[in-house]
Chains A and B, each alone.
Chain A
Amino acid sequence: MHPALSVIFFTTLSGAGYGLLALLGGGIALDLWPRDTTATLAPLAVGLTLASLGLLASTAHLGRPWRAWRAFSQWRSSWLSREGVAAVATYMPAIVLGAGLLDTSGSSTWSPLPRICGALLSVGAAVTVFCTARIYSSLRTIPAWSNSLVAPVYLLFASYSGGLWLWLLSTVAQRGAPGADRLGLAPALLAGMALVAIATALLKLLYWRHIDSAAPRASIESATGLAAFGSVSAFEHPHTEQNYITREMGFVLARRHAARLRAVALLAGFALPLATIATALQWPALATVSAFAALISGSLGVFVERWLFFAQARHVVSLYYGARSV
């Protein structure tokens, strides 16, 4: 599949945004997150911004973006529509939560309403990411996507990249704080994040292994209905130059590049952030720098991963254009 930037930005930015919102919402719901206006408003705002940027990026992929509102109508069957609905619905608890924060008089714990909002926010964000994943994983035409690993991978990536943001924002908020507080997040949470990173990386590895080894879903023989006659191969295409189909679905990434890019995704996406977490734990004074480095490196890794997600996915239509099996 052609790795369109708009779609990569859409999935990575909104993934990070909704991941961040999900973590924040979860923290509030469980009353684990401090009831601190700035500590909450910052991630809330950043989360919403990222999500919005992601959604905006997705409209760049549209031929007629001004009609985007129509996309909310088909939630009964379309994951894209559901994603839209969920994405927008998730703004509601976020807005209510944000409005509630303006009331600074309250206690240091969360009252039920924000906690309910937090829960809704968390669930909404997770559902949104899940829907995003399902847009892809429901496509039977793209075997690399239509498997049970895609949704968990998306969810893990979202929470991981959201976590990286959360960490950075927390360290920034607590820059002045002494000692271990400067870590931003409790060491246990950081350790948890490290575990998520490792789990995400492992799941991705599993995903790659799966797509590399999965039995093909269709062959040129079944695509042409000529299996009974022998082995089929493409002779002449309907057109000597490119067309929409070959440009959109005919993208082929050389194996060599794929292997290299996978390494980059793992190193930048996970190895480096893990090292920065370790660094921060060791030298809390470097926490902000570490969190910043982790976010940058992690985002790069996630971007590369997402690029590969598209670039390595082969569409069954390529059977008509020379592929032997997909």
Chain B
Amino acid sequence: MTHASLKLHEPVGDEVKTTTCYMCACRCGIKVHLKDGKVRYIQGNPDHPVNRGVICAKGSAGIMQHYSPARLKKPLLRVGERGSGEFREIEWDEALALATKWLTEIRQRNPDELAFFTGRDQSQALTGWWAQQFGTINYAAHGGFCSVNMAAAGMYTFGGSFWEFGEPDWEHTRYLMMFGVAEDHDSNPIKLGLGKLKQRGAKVLAINPVRTGYAAIADEWLGIRPGTDGLFVAALIQELLRNDWIDFDYLVRYTNAHYLVIRDPGAADDGLFARDTDGKPLCRTRDGGTALADAIGIAPAVVGEHRLADGRLAVPAFQLLAERFLANEYTPERAAKECGISAATIQRIAREIADVAFRAEVRLPVRWTDAWGRSHDEMIGRPISLHAMRGISAHSNGFHTCRMLHTLQMLLGAIDTPGSFRYQPPYPKGVPPANRPGKSRKADGTLDAGPLGYIHAPEDLLVDAQGEPRRIDKAFSWQHPLAVHGMLQSVIANAVAADPYRIDTLFLFMANMSWNSAMNTSGTRHLLTQKDAGGDYKIPRIIYVDAYASEMVEFADLVLPDTTYLERHDCISLLDRPISDADGASDAIRHPVVTPDRDVRPFQDVLLDLGTRIGLPGCLREDGSPRYPGGFAQYMVEHERAPGVGLLAGWRGRDGSRSGTGEPNPQQLERYKEHGAFWHAEVPAAGRYYKMANRDYLEWARGLGFVGSTQAQVMDLYSERLQRFRLAAQGHGAAQPPARERERVARYFDPLPFWYAPFEWAQLDLGRYPLAAITQRPMFMYHAWGSQNAWLRQISARNFLYLHPQTAQALDLRDDDWVWLESPHGRIRVPVRCHTGTEPGTVWSWNAIGKRRGAWKLAADAPESQQGFLLNHIITELLPPRADGHRYANADPVTGQAAWFDLRVRIEKAQDAPADTPHRIEVAHA
């Protein structure tokens, strides 16, 4: 008997198109197989530098997302009350006319009354430019509630960062320390990398309160208490210092460890570098003299008081660092008490990493030239890599903790050397990159620079004459000076409180702000419906762009339906969040592989169309005709940021022969499509390490337009830049914080990293709230989007609160019992389960599984809303009021990063199985 119908050689489909996945922000290359005009199969593109052929669960399930019943079908205009979900379907003409009317009025009146915030998108190169054209300073993407602590700490320390702008040297590292990573943006690259490490037998150490996913396959798991990593790392640093396990040569070559720091308390330049008359930093040499700190061929000293020409004292930056970390505050014993990892273990780990760094160094026989022109026969590396993400960043002490991680890397000589953490081009582009946020409007109404950028000095802040915030989210104010990604999490609360002012329109793109990206979901939903005395909503208008029936749609006045990622052009630009890897620069496109069967339009086309209708200068030609009638596809090819610089770096120049910079090439998109929808330029072999000071690299990077000069970029072991803010808070300089902020700025703008307890704990009775509560991303779901996916929701249609069996026992709890989970901000009813791989003082759940009843076109009795829950109901976006009534955002004081994981809770057994209440929530405490 044979299997008559078995066909072994069936082709997959009729046609294959390559494009870029957008089931998450990792942006892998995919091959989409089409059959009878429908998507048959999506596979990873083996040639793509990001994923090399692999594809994750979300990526494969893209087909179900594309055909999801929750897709929006037509523009919607609200007819009922906000939140009621009552809409009228309207035509695009009407929708665009309405939006144009609203936006034109604002632009004429005061462009800042538009708050344009984009969520999980990767099109900031366009949206940021559009905001700049519109002239509003109130623009940001989602980074503020995501991981700006990582981005900022990295950029302000060494000009790269864990957050997408760097990666471990997967080929050579022999020891990887992973702090607080469950999934990361680099979803597939990290998995590919871990696979390699495992194969090679490198050690993986996971520092994480929870042992799942990556931590599960780690050789060693340290179940740390949330928020205490700074103490653990500081103790490691102390051990390294005590034992001389320090790469001093690396420090003096690539960092400012030897720079002399003025010690003159009270002076305007206390804590700043001693400089010569040209303003160049000085160092002390071993023989007691001084030299220019960046001179070569000198023998700098890293300790020792030095008397400056003017008689004042100065010490090398390293000495300040050593003094800080050798203090009793940072002993392994102290750390052990707080973080739950024994002192012996900390000492052993310090020894292990020193071993790897100094006894197992990697030597690559690659000749290279340093930034000073000296040639070297080999590349010598410290094969120890660190990687960290939101477990570090989503705490109010995350900036300094992350800086501490980078300090550890620098002390070990383990940034961009063979085997260590590496930059991904175009980074490093300066410590931090040069671009500052726009501050004022030009005559044509546009902003003088993009609304986001790097604050270099107090003068760059967006504050008014009194030093009060100018932005609606208070980013770049004295409250959160280095909020380089903006603070999306604060927009709604601030706008409703008219603090600092009222806005007219909240224009949101791709952010589920009334649900999983709100820090206080119930509260936010309430705020969105608040009216003023005149009966108008406190946020008068909300325009929202989504592709699916998310929870946020209900609160919009006007809904503009987007296409799915398989139906539109997108640009993964080096000007945005690049997809490069350490060995090469990459960018990519998305292009329509299927045509929409609904009345939806690509948001980017709509945005350009709106810009044209409003009359934004960049959207019009000199003669007033539309500049980009071909929509985003045309913009991607033709738009130039600066002459020769556009969104895409590949196949530039009229004939497509240039890379990086060059005239627009009308055939550019064709070239991309022929080449798997991506462009990849390899770093020359001699330029692959020491990128911050490698001439071979810097020349290559300059050729592509990534850097302006081939000068070495010095890493900030000591941050003079932070010290400038501290000095301002101490009353020096032209730009000074208002009195209320002084103490805070002075404390948190410490030029050296330090640990402090997360803010929320400080004001809390920790006896009453003994447990830390955190979330993790499931690898197969992307935030809220996954639940509409018929396949992914089968994996998880509900979530549980996991706790350690001891914790459960102490509370007399068994699997599947229901408990009240209470924080100072409210309580929710949730089911519990035991997990031995959880630190006993921690409880956790998978993020964003819980859904609002009826959202995402799920049945009213779907487990997502009946049993699933969202921790966000009991988090808070604002800290309790200070004595003067002022409330700070529940965020990092330096960067404005949302402190999701500072949450403290208590658990009480709930008597009965839950009654039929939507989402198992009880009103927040009064």
Q: Are any A and B Cβ atoms less than 8 Å apart in their complex?
A: yes
A residues touching B (Cβ–Cβ < 8 Å)? 235, 238-241
17 contacting pairs across A/B (C-beta < 8 A):
A235-B835, A235-B837, A238-B795, A239-B794, A239-B795, A239-B796, A239-B797, A240-B795, A240-B796, A240-B797, A240-B798, A240-B799, A240-B863, A241-B794, A241-B797, A241-B798, A241-B863
- Separation in Å of the A76 CB from the closest CB of chain B? 12
Cα separation A255 to B752 with both chains bound (whole Å): 64
Q: From A235, A239, A240, A241, name the one whose CB has the most chain B CB atoms within 10 angstroms.
A: A240
Q: From A235, A238, A239, name the one whose CB has the most chain B CB atoms within 10 angstroms.
A: A235
Cα separation A235 to B835 with both chains bound (whole Å): 7
Interface of chain A, helix or strand or loop or mixed?
Answer: loop
Interface of chain B, helix or strand or loop or mixed?
Answer: loop
- Separation in Å of the B900 CB from the closest CB of chain A? 22
B residues touching A (Cβ–Cβ < 8 Å)? 794-799, 835, 837, 863
Give the residue name and chain of the B residue nearest to A241 (CB): B797
Cα separation A241 to B796 with both chains bound (whole Å): 8
Residues of A within 8 A of B863 (CB): 240-241
Cα separation A240 to B793 with both chains bound (whole Å): 9
How many residue pairs at the A-B interface have CB separations less than 8 Å? Answer: 17
- Separation in Å of the B573 CB from the closest CB of chain A? 38
Cα separation A241 to B795 with both chains bound (whole Å): 8
Residues of A within 8 A of B795 (CB): 238-240
Given pairs A239-B795, A240-B863, A241-B797, 4 additional interface contacts (CB within 8 A): A235-B835, A235-B837, A239-B796, A240-B797
Residues of B within 8 A of A238 (CB): 795
Residues of A within 8 A of B837 (CB): 235
- Separation in Å of the B685 CB from the closest CB of chain A? 43
Cα separation A241 to B794 with both chains bound (whole Å): 7
Give the residue name and chain of the A residue nearest to B864 (CB): A240
Residues of B within 8 A of A240 (CB): 795-799, 863
Q: From B795, B797, B835, B863, name the one whose CB has the most chain A CB atoms within 10 angstroms.
A: B795
Cα separation A240 to B794 with both chains bound (whole Å): 7
Give the residue name and chain of the B residue nearest to A233 (CB): B836
- Separation in Å of the B216 CB from the closest CB of chain A? 10
Residues of A within 8 A of B835 (CB): 235
Give the residue name and chain of the B residue nearest to A243 (CB): B794
Residues of B within 8 A of A241 (CB): 794, 797-798, 863
Cα separation A235 to B863 with both chains bound (whole Å): 20
- Separation in Å of the A245 CB from the closest CB of chain B? 13
Cα separation A235 to B795 with both chains bound (whole Å): 14
Cα separation A241 to B859 with both chains bound (whole Å): 15
Cα separation A238 to B835 with both chains bound (whole Å): 16
Residues of B within 8 A of A239 (CB): 794-797
Cα separation A239 to B797 with both chains bound (whole Å): 8
Q: Which 10 A-B pairs have the closest CB atoms?
A: A240-B798, A240-B797, A240-B796, A239-B794, A241-B797, A239-B795, A235-B835, A241-B863, A238-B795, A240-B863
Cα separation A238 to B795 with both chains bound (whole Å): 6
- Separation in Å of the A262 CB from the closest CB of chain B? 28
- Separation in Å of the B208 CB from the closest CB of chain A? 16
Cα separation A209 to B799 with both chains bound (whole Å): 40
Cα separation A238 to B57 with both chains bound (whole Å): 13
- Separation in Å of the A321 CB from the closest CB of chain B? 13
- Separation in Å of the B798 CB from the closest CB of chain A? 5
Cα separation A239 to B849 with both chains bound (whole Å): 13
Residues of B within 8 A of A235 (CB): 835, 837
- Separation in Å of the B602 CB from the closest CB of chain A? 34
- Separation in Å of the B261 CB from the closest CB of chain A? 51
- Separation in Å of the A323 CB from the closest CB of chain B? 14
Cα separation A238 to B794 with both chains bound (whole Å): 9
Cα separation A235 to B833 with both chains bound (whole Å): 9
Cα separation A251 to B837 with both chains bound (whole Å): 29
Cα separation A238 to B779 with both chains bound (whole Å): 13
- Separation in Å of the B807 CB from the closest CB of chain A? 16
- Separation in Å of the A67 CB from the closest CB of chain B? 14
- Separation in Å of the B371 CB from the closest CB of chain A? 50
Residues of A within 8 A of B796 (CB): 239-240
Give the residue name and chain of the B residue nearest to A235 (CB): B835
Cα separation A241 to B797 with both chains bound (whole Å): 7
Cα separation A238 to B799 with both chains bound (whole Å): 13
Q: From B794, B835, B863, name the one whose CB has the most chain A CB atoms within 10 angstroms.
A: B794
- Separation in Å of the A70 CB from the closest CB of chain B? 10
- Separation in Å of the B265 CB from the closest CB of chain A? 55
Cα separation A35 to B664 with both chains bound (whole Å): 105
Cα separation A239 to B792 with both chains bound (whole Å): 9
- Separation in Å of the B407 CB from the closest CB of chain A? 36
Give the residue name and chain of the A residue nearest to B837 (CB): A235
Cα separation A239 to B863 with both chains bound (whole Å): 12
- Separation in Å of the B257 CB from the closest CB of chain A? 45
Cα separation A306 to B798 with both chains bound (whole Å): 36
Cα separation A321 to B798 with both chains bound (whole Å): 17
Residues of A within 8 A of B797 (CB): 239-241
Cα separation A241 to B868 with both chains bound (whole Å): 12
Give the residue name and chain of the A residue nearest to B794 (CB): A239
Residues of A within 8 A of B799 (CB): 240
Cα separation A228 to B796 with both chains bound (whole Å): 30
Cα separation A202 to B799 with both chains bound (whole Å): 48
Residues of A within 8 A of B798 (CB): 240-241
Cα separation A238 to B796 with both chains bound (whole Å): 8
- Separation in Å of the A119 CB from the closest CB of chain B? 35
- Separation in Å of the B788 CB from the closest CB of chain A? 16
Cα separation A235 to B837 with both chains bound (whole Å): 10
Give the residue name and chain of the B residue nearest to A74 (CB): B1
Cα separation A240 to B799 with both chains bound (whole Å): 8
Cα separation A138 to B797 with both chains bound (whole Å): 37
